[in-house]
Structure 1
Amino acid sequence: MGTVRDILQTKGHAVYSIHPDITVFEALRVLVDKNVGALIVLDNEKVCGIFSERDYARRVIVKGRASKETLIREIMTENPISVTENDSIEDCMVKMTEKHIRHLPVMDHQDRLVGMISIGDVVKYIINEQKYIINNLEGYIKGTR
């Protein structure tokens, strides 16, 4: 099975981020504009949290808070679980499943943000890998490979 590096080589390293002192409403606009489910929260270029649609649903809407008055720092998930480019796809699946999370920041060995992967990225990678294996096996059986 592949590594996080394999996903980032296809997907790219672009990460959308926000500052912890913006409002939830402003962050929601970024989520919609970028068509993503989560944003990294950066303060002085250091990852201090992650904000997701799930955070909004559970910590704003259900609690009756106002998104135009609530700051991201009040509701973000602090110290998000992360991976490195060398982590296996299988390790990512285990972390996501055990921790019930859908997004993993990718950090380098100096603790700098280098990307982010989602459960969708992981599933897409696995599907493509399985298609490749199936095609090779079919070719082998038919004698065309």
Structure 2
Amino acid sequence: LMVDQSIGCVLVVEEEKIVGIFTERDALYKLNTSFHRFKDQPVSEFMTKEPQSLDLQAKVVFALQRMDLGGFRHIPIVDAEGHPTGIISVRDILRYLTDKLDKSEV
């Protein structure tokens, strides 16, 4: 899924709540096994359980601080009930900032 969609992570959701996140980093650091053994294992064996999340109203600077302090590159975004609505990544923030800088130079 991640390769097909060109995305760096996927959320693992049960009953509309985030129970984990599986990232490129999880694949690189935690999958210390052969592909034949890995391909039949559930994502739950390798995901980061109960990842930190941010609500929809969180400021970009707070997201960056959370990523920096936690060593994350992705953070799930949740609504007021804790249901996942998306994921923000370092790449998303860099694109946003680059776009703002480009527009300010015009």
Tell me, yes or no, whether TM beats 0.5. Answer: yes
Give the structure 2 partner of residue 81 of structure 1. 52
Please say which structure displays the higher CA radius of gyration.
Answer: 1
Q: 2:42 pairs with 45, 63, 71, which one?
A: 71
Give the structure 2 partner of residue 98 of structure 1. 69
- % same residue: 27
After superposition, the CA RMSD in angstroms is: 1.4
- Choose between structure 1 and 2: higher helix proportion: 1
Distance in 2, Cα, partners of 1:38 & 1:114:
14
Matches within 5 A, 1:88-127: 88-127=59-98
- Choose between structure 1 and 2: higher strand proportion: 2
Matches within 5 A, 1:1-20: none
Query: Shift in Å at residue 130 of structure 1?
Result: 2.1
Query: Shift in Å at residue 103 of structure 1?
Result: 0.8
Distance in 2, Cα, partners of 1:33 & 1:72:
16
Size of the alignment, in residue pairs?
104
TM-score (structure 2 length as normaliser): 0.89
Distance in 1, Cα, partners of 2:84 & 2:68:
22
Query: Shift in Å at residue 78 of structure 1?
Result: 0.7
Deviates more, 1:64-73 or 1:105-114: 64-73
SS in 2 for 1:92: helix
Distance in 2, Cα, partners of 1:68 & 1:132:
45
Give the structure 1 partner of residue 19 of structure 2. 48
Unmatched segments (≥5 aa) in structure 2: none
One-letter amino acid matched to 1:51:
F
Give the structure 1 partner of residue 2 of structure 2. 31
Distance in 1, Cα, partners of 2:24 & 2:86:
19
Query: Shift in Å at residue 69 of structure 1?
Result: 2.8
Unmatched segments (≥5 aa) in structure 1: 1-29, 136-145
Query: Shift in Å at residue 32 of structure 1?
Result: 0.9
CA deviation map 1:72-127 (0-9, x unaligned): 11111011111112111111111111111111111111111111111111011111
Query: Shift in Å at residue 70 of structure 1?
Result: 2.0
